[in-house]
Amino acid sequence: MATTVDAQELAALRALSAAIGADPHLTQAAGGNTSLKAGDTLWIKASGTWLKDALTDDIMVPVAIGP
């Protein structure tokens, strides 16, 4: 599985995730999921983690989406 993703894109996803997760008007509890598609990999917020923690914890995991 290719897990190469532009560091700037992943940093932007983490920042957006944390901002959304920190706003109680936009989320409930853990806040749902955010993701970034990069080639044959989908970077997605891991189950059981909180969006608001995206900048402080390693909550994004790569998932293969190719055949």
- Model-level pTM? 0.80
Report yes or no on 45 lying in a domain: yes
Per-residue pLDDT of the chain (67 residues; tens, 9 = 90+): 445 678 899 999 999 999 999 999 998 877 788 999 988 889 999 999 999 999 999 999 999 987 7
Which pLDDT belongs to residue 29? Answer: 79
Report yes or no on 30 lying in a domain: yes
Report yes or no on 2 lying in a domain: no
Report yes or no on 1 lying in a domain: no
d(CA 66, CA 16): 26
List the domain range (segments joined by +) for residue 24.
Answer: 7-64
Q: How many domains would you assign to the chain?
A: 1
Report yes or no on 16 lying in a domain: yes
